[in-house]
Structure 1
Amino acid sequence: MEVSNRFTKFVASRLIEAREIRGMTTTELAKLIGVSQQSVSKYENEGAVPTFDTLESISTALELPATFFYKPQVEGNDSVVFFRSKSAATVKSKKVHSHKIKWIKEIADYLEQFLELPQVNIPRFITRERYIPTDYTEIDEMALKVRELWGLGNGPISNVVLLLEKMGVIVGRSSFSDYSIDACSFWIDDERPIMLLSNDKTAARSRFDVAHELAHLVLHSKISQTEFNNKENYKAIENEAHRFAGAFLLPSPSFGTEVLSTSLEHFISLKKRWKVSIGAMSYRSKDLDIFSDYQYINMRSKMAKNKWLTKEPLDDELPFEEPVLLKQAIEAVIDNRIKTKQDFVSDVGIHREEIEAIANLYSGYLLQNESAKVIPIRFKQ
């Protein structure tokens, strides 16, 4: 018996989203839930609606509550998602994180029904939909303008994640270890920029990822999907974001005067101060013509000899920058009894564990408080 009448709001695109976020094909899902691949395709193309039993099987297979498949789709689902990714990143892995970052938006949208989150203060210096390359000198100037706008001066930034959250960006973290992706971001017009970061990186490399995604928000957030999909454009866009990130974290007026040697020991001391990887600082030194090409190559060779290309000194000592905005917002809603933990999870429509991971809450935070089940009983006098 097909679901009908009061159960007519099954959202087909939610099934596609759930399947893709779990990295499954329609054939793989069909095998798990005991129906044909053609049936799954019909569910996704609004040609049929799954039965109650089939929906329960889908819910179990995709590890999402059945209510998820009745949630209206998030607006801006076709917005460009920018990825800081390795060449090995697949279309499937990008789909996983395109959906996951939009879950962050849904959580933030829900919270904004009750709370006033920080006002967005991210400048959009380039607003055209067509991609036109920007001169690197101009990019350096834009990075300095952002620092000026935010009153940062030219010194090291103590916490880049916290800075962006104060500027209205919603930041979440997730494990990217199996996907060859470092970070991603998107920004729908007149709404909040959203950023998803890997929690599998070192502190220094993660800070650079944050600055890289900031570059996309400032330079590229208006670019159309067609322009972004062009392979030549994509490579140039990534290079521009890399340049902006270096200029934002390591501004030439200050960092440029502090590079006094090509010795590895000197760069360890610089890393301690600037909290940026030695690899990124040496590349920035080449960008600023402090290093010649030969000096940069020699630096890389010394790093390779010391096996620093994958793990550098101080990687285990610099503090990892965790997002706090979503965490504090959820705690405010719960602590002020605007919503119970159970109702919050039910309303958001995503499994508790995934909300906790995205929002940097400790595992089990959203479990219903067991003390609420305790009935006070006293001994007779």
Structure 2
Amino acid sequence: MFAERLERARKAAGLSMKALGGEIGLSANAIKKYEHGEAMPSSSNLLKLAKALDVRTEYFFRPTKVQLEGVEYRKRASTPKKTLARINGDVLDQAERWYELLEFYPDSVKPIPEFSLPEALPEKVETLEQAEALAILMREEWDLGLNPIHDMIDTMEAKGIMIITTDVETDKKFDGLAGNIGPTPVVVISTSQSGDRQRFTLAHELGHLVVHGRLADDIDEEKACNLFAGAFLLPKQALIDHLGESRRYIEPRELFMLKHEYGISMLAILYRAGQCGIITESTQRGLFMSFSKKGWRTEEPGKPYEQETTYLLKQLVYRALGEEYIGESKAAELLGLSVSSFHKERKLEVLSAATAN
């Protein structure tokens, strides 16, 4: 157990055996022996390892072990393997804490629902355009109507999808990944992305859950999921209500306002306007060219759309603490905090200090 966890933590920190050894005053060979299970560190070296790898010492001996399966990355071709290893390590650490927490809840209490797809979904999707109808069907089944979805993370978590955010620095070469732990779908998004990009990733990965195994052989799943994501975030009828059924030109300010109302990028709205037949291909192409000249394909104007975050793990830790399923020390461990830091947070002392300043 210790050897495997040490290796994973080292890779998650992006360190070689030599670099880790150098940080704590040991040779690379000593680290190698630890990772191969040929030796165990002394208590003092264990503390140094935990500090260098930014984990609590309990991490190395945590009994819960999960397996993330069916992983699909939304990444760029240039994403380094070392970066993916760091992301994978971070995700597994968070997922393990999730499942350890859930094990403390009694069988009679179900703190999160079990994910299931609506029975109304068609068995076969024969055309790419049907992805639009699937998005509307999912909105109807989840009672979302055609209004903006203000919190994608909360919407998906409420249906039993585990959302994990990773702070691993990716130089914007990674958007997210999807997989599953047992029957639970897991979606991971990067905190280095803007809010509208996070939301599109979440909707895209939801699309994979919906269309997987249903697409005809000649349909590209990535294209289907992109169409699903756009339609889920900004339904066709809602877009027509805002822009009209047919336009000769769309003002950039209109796109900007729609972006901040529906949480979808200006560029993605342009794609949607073309998909919905509101503008012609030539009009869309001209607007794309204008975006390129202004540099808006790289960075859109105005303040970025606000990022989303998940509070569910923290909420369930405090719920478990309040119900005395766990103690303060275990709560701190599950949240990755020192006991003293957790105690201050629990007593709202951090908020009080911030207000005083």
TM-score, normalization by structure 2: 0.78
Change (3 A) 1:369 1:243: closer
| Preserved CA contact (<8 Å) 1:342 1:368 | no
1:281 positional shift: 0.8
- Between the aligned partners of 2:128 and 2:33, the Cα distance in structure 1 is 49
> Shift of residue 238 of structure 1?
4.1
The one-letter code sitting in structure 2 at the alignment partner of 1:101 is: V
The yes-or-no answer on 1:118 pairing with 2:112 is yes
Deviation at 1:150, TM superposition (A): 0.9
The Cα offsets for residues 11-42 of structure 1, whole Å up to 9 and x where unpaired, read as 32211210111011233223334444344334
Q: CA deviation at 1:221?
A: 9.6
Q: In structure 2, do the counterparts of structure 1 residues 273 and 209 end up closer, same or farther at CA, with 3 Å as the change threshold?
A: same
- Secondary structure of 1:279's partner? helix
- Could you tell me which residue of structure 2 aligns to residue 341 of structure 1? 328
Distance 1:245 1:173 in 2: 19
**Aligned CA distance change for structure 1 residues 41 and 267 (closer, same or farther; 3 Å):** same
Separation in 2, partners of 1:12, 1:290: 59
| Structure 2 unaligned regions, length at least 5 | 215-219, 349-357
Match of 1:81 among 54, 71, 76: 71
> 1:96 deviation in Å?
1.4
Q: Secondary structure at the match of 1:171?
A: strand
CA contact (8 A) 2:148 2:262 kept: yes
Give the alignment's TM-score, normalised by structure 1. 0.74
**CA contact under 8 A between 2:161 and 2:185: conserved in structure 1?**
yes
Q: Which amino acid aligns with 1:267?
A: L
Q: Which has the larger displacement, 303-312 or 246-255?
A: 303-312
Which of 214, 229, 253 is equivalent to 1:245? 229
User: Structure 1 residues 345 and 273, CA, compared in 2 at 3 Å: closer, same or farther?
Assistant: closer
One-letter identity of the residue aligned with 1:102: L
The residue aligned with 1:312 is 300
Note the alpha carbon deviations across 1:250-292, whole angstroms, 9 max, x for none. 2234325543442212222322432211111112223334444
| Structure 1 position 173 matched with structure 2 position 165 | yes
In 1, the alpha carbon distance for the partners of 2:64 and 2:164 equals 20
| Paired position in structure 1 for 2:217 | none
CA distance 1:219–1:76, shift in 2 (3 Å): farther
Matched-pair contact (CA < 8 Å) for 2:153–2:308: yes
Q: Give the distance between the partners of 1:339 and 1:221, measured in 2 at CA.
A: 41
User: Quick one: which amino acid aligns to residue 189 of structure 1?
Assistant: G
Helix, strand or coil at the partner of 2:84: helix
* Residue 116 to residue 256, structure 1, CA distance change in 2 (3 Å): same
Report if aligned partners of 1:124, 1:219 keep a CA contact under 8 Å in 2: no
* RMSD of aligned Cα (Å): 3.5
Q: Distance in 1 between matches of 2:260 and 2:346?
A: 42
Give the one of 34, 39, 62 matched to 1:43: 34
1:230 is matched with none
Structure 2 CA distance, aligned partners of 1:330 and 1:99? Answer: 22
Between 1:162-171 and 1:52-61, the stretch displaced more is: 52-61
- Select which of 184, 188, 191 maps to 2:181: 188
Do the aligned partners of residues 370 and 275 (structure 1) sit closer, same or farther apart at CA in structure 2, a change above 3 Å counting?
A: closer
Match of 1:228 in 2: none
**Alignment partner of 1:98 is 2:88:** yes
Q: Given the alignment of the two structures, is residue 211 of structure 1 paired with residue 203 of structure 2, yes or no? A: yes
Letter in 1 for 2:337: R
Do the aligned residues in 2 keep the contact of 1:185 with 1:213 (CA within 8 Å)? yes
1:134-283 map, 5 Å: 135-179=127-171, 180-190=173-183, 192-220=184-212, 237-256=221-240, 258-260=242-244, 261=247, 262-283=250-271
Match of 2:21 in 1: 30
Partner Cα separation in structure 1 for residue 211 and residue 7 of structure 2:
31
Structure 1 unaligned regions, length at least 5: 1-9, 127-131, 223-235, 356-362, 372-381
